[in-house]
Amino acid sequence: HPLTVYPCMICGKKFKSRGFLKRHMKNHPEHLTKKKYHCTDCDYTTNKKISLHSHLESHKLTSKAEKAIECDECGKHFSHAGALFTHKMVHKEKANKMHKCKFCEYETAEQGLLNRHLLAVHSKNFPHICVECGKGFRHPSELKKHMRIHTGEKPYQCQYCEYRSADSSNLKTHVKTKHSKEMPFKCDICLLTFSDTKEV
């Protein structure tokens, strides 16, 4: 049977699956993906077919020789300042979506590539690496605590109610804020509170 392809409606690139297309679409600025009709010669987008036709006519009136305004970031040429301004928004949005390394100047549009970079370049500083997301830690105990985010494990149980937590400090905060009235007896030496005078 024929191979199904999923084309990008913005740049025309074709993909074997919807998943690959969806991932690819994240590389395009949001203002391009939200509109229904896209100009193939510039970054103009609209939800009205008639507006696109009118816009395409403006390209016919402008010859390539007249496209004198150049983008200083990529060298693309435009016929008027408005088109250049719209185009520059693409560069601005791409810069805002970049995933930046917190240890060096490396940046990328994909989180997976940043994870790979962290493993390859910075794993000496953070030798304990999470297999789920690529985040590195200095100590195995930090990795163990972090893994609870992925596993959903909550080993710390409140002794007064059903509350559970992945982190002991969260449990301590819970007990202080929710159960301090249930523990009115305070030790004068260690300042801990208890529910019964026999425990003090």
Q: Decide if 145 contacts 167 (C-beta within 8 A).
A: yes
Confidence at residue 30, expressed as pLDDT on a 0 to 100 scale: 64
Mean pLDDT of 20-32: 73
Confidence at residue 96, expressed as pLDDT on a 0 to 100 scale: 60
Where do the domains of the chain lie, and which CATH numbers do they carry?
6-96 (no CATH), 99-151 (3.30.160), 156-199 (3.30.160)
Confidence at residue 19, expressed as pLDDT on a 0 to 100 scale: 83
3-state SS string for 92-134: HHHHHCCEECCCCCCEECCHHHHHHHHHHHHCCCCCEECCCCC
For the chain, what percent of residues have pLDDT higher than 70? 72
Confidence at residue 155, expressed as pLDDT on a 0 to 100 scale: 92
What is the distance between the alpha carbons of residues 29 and 93, in angstroms, rounded to a whole number?
6
Res. 63 pLDDT band, cuts 50 70 90: very low
Amino acid at site 159: Q
Mean pLDDT of 7-27: 77
DSSP SS3 for 157: strand
Res. 1 pLDDT band, cuts 50 70 90: very low
Distance of CA 70 to the CA centre of its chain: 31
- Choose from 5-9, 76-80, 98-102 the range with maximum mean pLDDT: 98-102
DSSP string, 44-55: -EES-HHHHHHH
Query: In 3D, which of 25, 29, 31 has the Cα closest to residue 96?
Result: 29
Residues 180/182/184/189 CA torsion (nearest 10 deg)? -60
pLDDT tens-digit profile of 81-128? Answer: 777 777 777 766 665 667 888 777 888 777 777 877 777 777 677 777
Mean pLDDT of 184-191: 73
> Mean pLDDT in the chain?
75
Tokens of 51: 């507006």
Confidence at residue 164, expressed as pLDDT on a 0 to 100 scale: 92
Confidence at residue 157, expressed as pLDDT on a 0 to 100 scale: 92
For tokens 């590195």, name the residue: 136
Confidence at residue 65, expressed as pLDDT on a 0 to 100 scale: 45
- Choose from 53-67, 104-118, 138-152 the range with maximum mean pLDDT: 138-152
The contacts of residue 181 (CB under 8 Å, 6+ apart) are: none
Query: In 3D, which of 8, 89, 104, 6 has the Cα closest to residue 44?
Result: 89
